[in-house]
Amino acid sequence: LKKQHKITDFYSEE
Amino acid sequence: MFEARLTQGALLKRLLDSVKELVTDANFDCSETGISLQAMDNSHVALVSLSLRAEGFNPYRCDRGFSLGVNLNSLNKIMKCAGNEDVITLKADDSSADSLCLLFENSSNERVSEYELKLMDIDQEHLSIPETDYDATVMMPSAEFQRICRDLMVVSESVTIDVSKDEIKFTAEGELGTGNVKLKPTSTIDKPEESITIELGQTVSLQFSLKYLSNFTRGTPLSDQVMLCLSDNMPLLVEYKMDIGYIRYYLAPKVGD
């Protein structure tokens, strides 16, 4: 099974 | 003083309906250019970004930028009190905005209702989303995408999306077996809303949660077409474009074994 990533793994805070 | 009057009130009802399952509390950032919202779901797996341009309202007045902290469940309850034909006006005192006033006027203007929604202090992180040159950009009928998500959910809660030059393929594998849907680009120039186009930089294959994708398809009533943007190891972008602006959903992929 593949692991669900998070948006915050790709986009950082402004 | 902040005032934004939208003659197509139904649009605002649908917009809020398309984010209510994903986000509970959010800041509506109001400026002279328009209204925008960015928020993640509780699990931080998905992000919604909404933008409505000032030109879409008449009148639109926003003397200085400010944020309206809103509980979307409460706002949705109030929006249920607006008729689909109503003109909707949002008003707030931008200096001490502790409540948002919503005015619903019916077309013959003999019925006017006014609601006040208490605002909240929401300190939400704001993510910077870089303009991305995606490996693949697919345009298709929004109803088609909604149906694919709904159909493949009977097979699995994950879907693999493969895009090549002349095909986008959705594959689901689960306990009961497997299912896949393949779409080829169309050249129907007579019915643009039915067209399917694929712009490909390089082939891409990514896996996503169908639960979230199905949730995104609540945006289907907003636009005849939906745009899917994919890049290897990047969140999927699902965009519904309207005259007044857009709603964009981002979904982090499932990666690795």
Q: Which positions in chain A touch B235 (Cβ < 8 Å)?
A: 7, 10-11
Please indicate whether, in this complex, the C-beta atoms of A5 and B254 are within 8 angstroms of each other: yes
Per-residue confidence (pLDDT) for residue A1, from 0 to 100: 76
Per-residue confidence (pLDDT) for residue B116, from 0 to 100: 97
Question: What's the gap in Å between the CA of A7 and the closest CA on chain B?
Answer: 5
Per-residue confidence (pLDDT) for residue B2, from 0 to 100: 95
Greater confidence, A2 or B179? B179
**What string of DSSP letters covers B16-31?**
HHTTTTT-SEEEEEEE
Please indicate whether, in this complex, the C-beta atoms of B126 and A13 are within 8 angstroms of each other: yes
Q: What is the ipTM of this complex?
A: 0.97
Rounded Cα distance, B95 and B179, in Å = 55
Please indicate whether, in this complex, the C-beta atoms of A14 and B235 are within 8 angstroms of each other: no
Close Cβ partners of B109 (under 8 Å, ≥ 6 residues apart)? none
**Out of A1, A2, A4, closest to residue B45 by CB:** A4
Please indicate whether, in this complex, the C-beta atoms of B255 and A2 are within 8 angstroms of each other: yes
Q: Which positions in chain A touch B209 (Cβ < 8 Å)?
A: 4
β-pairing verdict for B46-53 and B225-230? unpaired
B128 touches chain A (CB under 8 A): yes
Per-residue confidence (pLDDT) for residue B195, from 0 to 100: 94
Close Cβ partners of B96 (under 8 Å, ≥ 6 residues apart)? none
Contact status, residue B257 vs residue B65, Cβ threshold 8 Å: no
Per-residue confidence (pLDDT) for residue B254, from 0 to 100: 97
Please indicate whether, in this complex, the C-beta atoms of A7 and B252 are within 8 angstroms of each other: yes
Q: Which of B186, B163, B222 minimizes the C-alpha distance to B18?
A: B222
Rounded Cα distance, B254 and B206, in Å = 7
Find the angle CA(B157)-CA(B131)-CA(B13) to the nearest 5 degrees: 60
pLDDT digits (tens, 9 = 90+) for B98-111: 999 999 999 888 89
Residues of chain B short of pLDDT 70, as ranges, are 188, 257
Q: Which positions in chain A touch B128 (Cβ < 8 Å)?
A: 11-14
- For B156-203, strand residue ranges (E) read 158-164, 167-174, 177-183, 197-200
Token pair belonging to B181: 């849907």
Q: Mark out the alpha helices in B44-202 (DSSP H runs).
A: 72-79, 142-152
- pLDDT over 90 (residue A4): yes
